[in-house]
A and B are shown apart, each in its own frame.
Chain A
Amino acid sequence: MSILSMTNIEKSFGNLQVLKDISFSVEEGEVVSIIGPSGSGKSTLLRCATFLETIDSGVIAYDDNPVTTMVGDKCVYAKNLNDFRRCFGLVFQNFNLFPHYTVLKNMMDAPVSVLGRDKEEVKAECMELLKKMGLEDRADAYPCQLSGGQQQRVSIVRALAMKPQILFFDEPTSALDPELTGEVLKVIKELAEENMTMVIVTHEMQFARAVSDRVIFMDGGLIVEQGDPEKVFGNTENERTKQFLSNYNR
């Protein structure tokens, strides 16, 4: 059973078509990296998967339950989008932590006030997560008191606190310097080892190669190639992929 499947997805901004008939799915426990040049539609694809953008046509489904259905040539979204939102978490490029909440409150607030869960229970879980990240002593700090790497790790645990089935990362290290990038990638790697289902949009090629079960290369709104990372990175036969990857091996 696919956790996420996106079928024949089309998306345009005005006259610019950014996603052209995209189809892919993610199985449980799978780590999928999406690579490609800027403007290729990678981030838009994630934003469509998380309902931050609406698609023009196609079908999005979580756990084989369709979120969108095509009525004629119109794409209709399900009414209970919030039920579907519980399936996934999203980690943003620039963290988007709530600056007026402490680390712990950032994590606890949604499970408590959105899911209506017991406060003490959620707190215990969140402290456990922070401990795992080595951030338990920062529970009462405000985001501005943390380094970029710490902030991104907090935003990862904030997403995990909602117990999603699948976690999306939208260029999670692009706002970080190389030193801080490492600590965030390490966390993602640990999650991969725990069989967390993840889709990662990234420019960190070596990381994508090491951590992914499957790599998707996008260009110009199309999936150019997808497959085993060793094949895509090691010996692709696709000219466009080769050309793109050669820029990273300079």
Chain B
Amino acid sequence: MDLMTMILKMGEGLGKTCAIFFLTLLFSLPLGMIVALLRGSKNKIVSSVTRFFISVLRGTPLMLQLIAVTYGPYYLFHLSVSRNKLIPVVIAFAINYAAYFAEIYRSGIDSMPVGQYEAAEVLGYSKAQTFIKIILPQVIRRILPSMTNEIVTLVKDTSMAFTVSYQEMFTIGKQIANSQTSFTPFIVAGVFYYIFNAIVGFVMGRAEKKMSYYDM
């Protein structure tokens, strides 16, 4: 198999890689905020249950979680494994990343000076207004660098979908490598990921610049 054929075959899987990536962000970004708010809840039971789930999701391999979500229903309830593996893959990724994003959001929220809350309170802002208008915009600005870090990791983590044989780019590459006894597909995969992350880095850099309008 020549290089061009390999690239084209793996390129076909790139759409699925992108699907994991964008769908994971779509669900985990808002879910992470909900988790962060639950974790910060004044209700002790809510916050400790949330904290426990975060610790499980961060303390066990994503690979294991992928397998659990994809095949768990079959082993536990004898339900058939879903045809479209994208669904369990995205569920596992979204939940896992929500746990990480939640911690990033929390660190951002905790880093806000109490004076911002107090100024808003004295001016009569409601709790929701204070969070949405005053706190959140500043939090987003502060956490953007850590978010970039996490999103770059997500790009590379999509390759983990090979454990459940979801036909994304890396899975196809691995199959080609096996059948052709060739190392080239891995190099192609590496280049794909590198370019993908270069784009991510560029976009996030622009976002950071755009958000920094109020710094010196």
Contacts and interface: CB of A to CB of B under 8 A. Distances in A.
Given A99-B214, A142-B214, A109 B122 contact: no
B141 A144 contact: no
B125 A96 contact: no
Contacts of A94: 115
A54 interface: no
Nearest to A109: B133
Contacts of A52: 118, 121-122
Interface residues of B, number: 22
B61 to A, nearest CB: 39
B213 A98 contact: no
Nearest to A114: B124
A49 B115 CA distance: 17
A144 B216 contact: yes
Interface string B87-116: 000000000000000000000000001011
Given A52-B121, A96-B119, A100-B138, A144 B129 contact: no
A207 interface: no
Contacts of A110: 123-125
Given A86-B124, A100-B137, A114 B115 contact: no
A50 B122 contact: yes
B129 A145 contact: no
Interface in B121-154: 121-126, 129, 133-134, 137-138, 141
B2 interface: no
Contact of A92 (B115, B126, B213): B115
A64 to B, nearest CB: 21
Given A96-B116, A142-B214, A162-B123, A114 B137 contact: no
A238 interface: no
A98 B121 contact: no
**Dominant SS at the B interface?**
helix
A85 B124 contact: yes
A35 B172 CA distance: 75
Given A92-B115, A113-B129, A100 B122 contact: no
Contacts of A51: 121
Contacts of B137: 100
A52 B115 CA distance: 11
Contacts of B138: 99-100
B119 A114 contact: no
Contacts of B129: 113-114
Interface in B157-216: 213-216
Most buried by B among A85, A100, A115, A162: A100
Interface in A108-150: 109-110, 113-115, 142-145
A124 to B, nearest CB: 20
Contacts of B123: 85, 110, 114, 158, 162
B135 to A, nearest CB: 10
A100 B134 CA distance: 8
A4 to B, nearest CB: 14
Going nearest first, the 5 A-B pairs with the smallest beta carbon separation are A96-B119, A96-B115, A110-B123, A114-B124, A142-B214
Interface of A: 50-52, 82, 85-86, 88-90, 92, 94, 96-100, 109-110, 113-115, 142-145, 158, 162
Interface of B: 113, 115-116, 118-126, 129, 133-134, 137-138, 141, 213-216
27 contacts: A52-B122, A82-B126, A85-B122, A85-B124, A88-B122, A90-B122, A92-B115, A96-B113, A96-B115, A96-B116, A97-B119, A99-B138, A100-B138, A100-B141, A110-B123, A110-B124, A113-B129, A113-B133, A114-B124, A114-B129, A115-B124, A142-B213, A143-B214, A144-B216, A158-B123, A162-B123, A162-B124
